[in-house]
Amino acid sequence: MAEDYATLDQLSGGRLDITIGKGNDPDQNALFGCDLDGKWDRNREKYGLLRRLLSEESVSWSGQYRPDLVDATTQPRPFQTPTIPLWHGFASSTESRELAAKSRDPLSSTNSLWSFALSRELT
pLDDT given for residue 120 in this prediction: 64
CA gap 29, 57 in Å, rounded: 30
Give the residue-averaged pLDDT of 31-51.
85
Give me the mean pLDDT over the 21-45 stretch.
Answer: 79
Which pLDDT belongs to residue 121? 66
What are the residue ranges spanned by the domains of the chain? Answer: 2-122
Question: CA 115, 37, 89, 30 torsion: positive or negative?
Answer: negative
Predicted confidence at residue 51, as pLDDT, reads 95
Q: What is the mean pLDDT of residues 39-51?
A: 90
- Read off the pLDDT of residues 64-86 as tens digits, 9 standing for 90 and up: 989 999 999 999 999 999 999 99
- What three-state secondary structure class fits 123? coil
Q: What's domain 2-122's superfamily in CATH?
A: Luciferase-like domain (3.20.20.30)
99 neighbors 47 (Cβ within 8 angstroms): yes
Choice between 115 and 32, residue whose per-residue pLDDT is larger: 32
Task: Answer yes or no: are the C-beta atoms of 96 and 30 closer than 8 Å.
Answer: no
Rounded distance, CA 72 to CA 57, Å? 8
